[in-house]
Amino acid sequence: MLTTKPSRRARRGLTRRSISAVLGVVAVMLALPIAASATPVTVVPGLPPVEVPDIPGAPKIPGTPSTPKPTPPTPKPTPSTPKTPGVPAIPNVKTSTGWVALAVDQSHQIFWWKDGRFVKKMPISMGSNDHPTPNGVYHTKEKYRDMYMDSSTYGVPVDSAEGYRTYVEYATRMSWDGIFIHAAPWSVAQQGNSNASHGCINVSTENGKWVFNTIPRGTPIVVRGTIGPKYTGD
């Protein structure tokens, strides 16, 4: 089989067509807008892909996807619930025992703290409107496992309309004129709701026992919010 070499004129024509194809590729590349954030690839049939260089500030090619910036996670809110809701601030009084108590007439509750840390609250019933418990700072004194409370000790005869002689348990004296915090099972319905005593702080038998066994002598008990006068003795 004979192979005919292309003539010089044919070779010149082939060279011109190759140069024209390359120039066409360059023209296409220069005509295309260049994306600032991506490197597009131009493909011409019969020729290898040509990458367009990344030029800063060049306009973005329409339709070219861009990588979105990650959204930072939203911080979770910090709970603001108080540690001891419904508990008032500890009274600013000196204590030699580490214990402090606050009896609040409005809520009919007594609150106990030890070394500044809230420990316990309990429902109470203080003095009625006829015998209100005086407001002020008391200090616990002697204790009686059981005793008779007798109105005659402060000048009211037992057989009078206002007189009484009542057996009580777990009585802790708060004042020398006859105010105690003591167990009063007969007034449990009033404890936490209303005042019904002759001036003492009435608590349940269980709570009276806790005070009797736990609270040392000399502990301050603050009474606040009654219609009574100011307590001045101790």
Beta bridge partners of 224: 104
Catalytic pick from 108, 131, 139, 182? 182
Catalytic pick from 108, 131, 139, 200? 200
Cα(89)–Cα(103) distance, integer angstroms = 12
Instruction: Tell me the pairing of strands 99-104 and 117-123.
Output: unpaired
- Is 200 annotated as catalytic? yes
Strands (E) across 91-219 are located at: 99-104, 109-114, 117-123, 136-139, 143-150, 165-173, 180-183, 201-203
179: exposed, middle or buried (Cβ count in 10 Å: 0-12, 13-18, 19+): buried
Cα(200)–Cα(31) distance, integer angstroms = 100
Going by the DSSP 8-state scheme, the letter that residue 154 receives in this structure is G
Going by the DSSP 8-state scheme, the letter that residue 230 receives in this structure is B
Say if residues 208 and 143 touch (Cβ distance below 8 Å): no
* CA angle (37 as vertex; 36, 38 as ends), nearest 5: 100
| Catalytic residue numbers, as ranges | 182, 200
